[in-house]
Amino acid sequence: MSHFAPAAMHVLHPADTSPVGTDWWRGAVIYQIYPRSFQDHNGDGIGDLVGITSRLEYVADLGVDAIWLSPVFTSPMKDFGYDVSNYRDIDPSFGSLEDFDRLVEKAHALGLKVIIDQVISHTSDRHPWFAESRVSRTNERADWYVWADPRPDGTPPNNWLSIFGGSAWQWDGRRMQYYLHNFLAAQPDLNFHNGDVQDAVLADMRFWLERGVDGFRLDTVNFYFHSPGLENNPPIGTENYSAAMAPAVNPYNLQDHVHDKSRPDNIAFLKRLRALIEEYPGRATVGEIGDAQRQLELMAAYTSGDDMLHMCYTFDYLGGQYSAPYFRSAMSALEAEAPQGWVCLAFSNHDVVRHVSRWAPHGFEDLVTRQAALLLMTMRGSVCLYQGEELGLTEAELAFEDLVDPYGIEFWPEFKGRDGCRTPMVWQAHGHNGGFSAANRTWLPVPAQHLHAAVDQQEHVANSFLSFYRSVLAFRRQHPALVKGDLTLIENTPEPVLAFTRTLGEETLVCVYNMSAEPMTFELETLGGVADAGAPGSDARVDGNTLSFGPFGAYIGTMK
């Protein structure tokens, strides 16, 4: 039996008192939609905007506050929309601007905000800007991208690496120079040291603000600037090695990326971006920071104060361990490094293996699915749910011949890429392609192992994952302390217990999780007593302050 005393508690964050309305994003739950895989309306095997619009009632019924759309701009689709060739139009595979406007109108009518993915660190090599830039070294957009001469032996100008494998430099025979690409060679990096580039991307963002979007998810927000000196990146050193930004088989992890990203110049640009957003009250920004060594430092710099980003997306829980020490350490480190920042939490997204497959021991998938949902909804921050997460979907197993992700194809079989988390949404267990599409062949196959979890199999089932997520979301809404309250870690808790309180005004909730496959019994001492708050998943047996848990059990209680 273990005992926890209030002397071991550590207050992490002051309660938010900002006005409701313009501050809707703080503590919001955002549902991420990967458009290619949500709902195909026209039968071509690819999801589209009309299909998304037809399913918005489903999303609203979950109880979320907003949707985040992965990119729908015009694109050659070498990286499935993250290579943009026209920032002001919709790719024909997704529909039209009119379809987008109808989606926004319906979402707003249902009480949903609309956040769009803005990919401005790089463009497609088919973008007119790049087509002009590569023609010569003297044209109007010659330095809109990052160009460099070869070394005397013809090799790239430095040792910078691409996340997708190989050198970050691609030779161009027209200019007789290399250009920088942190991702695919088809994704040349824009040169943000050029003020005209900054003006152009901000103008493109204004275009969407004028169309009524409620905010932007900023892809790779720390990749905008590079060091003009093009210095070699130093080796990372074994003591600092991390595979958080790339799979362990990728040599990208072996460098300390101090010169090719996360540059101090970014601060001034982000202030320009925030000034634009401030012209449109109630709009919000969430930045994706990709830097294994400086994640918390950058989050603090990018979100502190009222002239930077509203919040940043953390990678802490998109990998790592599902254990009490890991979560406790990550939560403590965030507050120590970024006490005034605001985090956007996610356990799954379109780039990582679905969290149930990453974290759950064999045979405990159902229990981990439920506990993880409750844990995510009780942590401090805004929340992103990834489509299908509410159905308890696991990572799909695909054959090599079915892969389309260039990342997975490059590092197969040690790393299988991102296709396993991007397979189509399953709506009907017995419908053609799971109800996703009428096509003979979909862009990725619909996994047979997902059909039993289809929406129509869970919709009206009281104990289904879908019903559970709806209940947890409703519970969160009913308790403002879970949305904007302080979080206080209960420290010195033994493995495998994670415990904390959430407080706002006179309401305090105590949240306790047994993050293991073994039963456990322990006591909460001198906390003034606890009483059941009626949270879904609070399955501990309560005898006074003694809590008895089954495997991956949880308890949410109110303080007496």
- By annotation, the residues acting in catalysis are 219, 279
Beta partners for 140?
none
Burial code of 123-135, b = ≥16 C-beta within 10 A, e = fewer? bbbbbebbeebbe
Which residues lie below 8 Å from residue 448, measured CB to CB, with a gap of 6+?
Answer: none
Q: Which residues contact 29 (CB under 8 A, 6 or more apart)?
A: 63, 64, 65, 66, 377, 382, 383, 384, 385, 473, 476
Tell me the sheet residues that pair with 509.
502, 558
Whole-angstrom CA distances from 202 to 13, 86, 196, 208, 304 are: 33, 14, 10, 10, 21
Amino acid residing at 79: D
Task: Check residue 396 and report its DSSP letter.
Answer: P
Tell me how far apart the alpha carbons of residues 308 and 285 are, in angstroms, rounded to a whole number: 9
Cα–Cα distance measured from residue 62 to residue 547, given in angstroms and rounded to the nearest whole number = 30
Burial class (CB in 10 A: 0-12, 13-18, 19+), 399: exposed
Could you tell me the two tokens for 111? Answer: 């009480």
For residue 66, give the nearest of 109, 111, 106 by alpha carbon. 111
Q: How far apart are CA 415 and CA 413, in angstroms?
A: 5
The residue among 403, 433, 401 whose CA lies nearest residue 418 is 403
Radius of gyration of the chain measured on its C-alpha atoms:
24
End-to-end CA distance of the chain: 22
3-class SS string, 239-306: HHCCCCCCCCCCHHHHECCCCCCCCCCHHHHHHHHHHHHHCCCCCEEEEECCCCCCHHHHHHHHHCCC
Angstrom distances, CA of residue 2 to CA of 228, 324, 460, 492, 528: 56, 15, 40, 10, 17
Per-residue DSSP letters for 511-542?
EEEE-SSS-EEEEE-SSS-EEE---TTB--EE
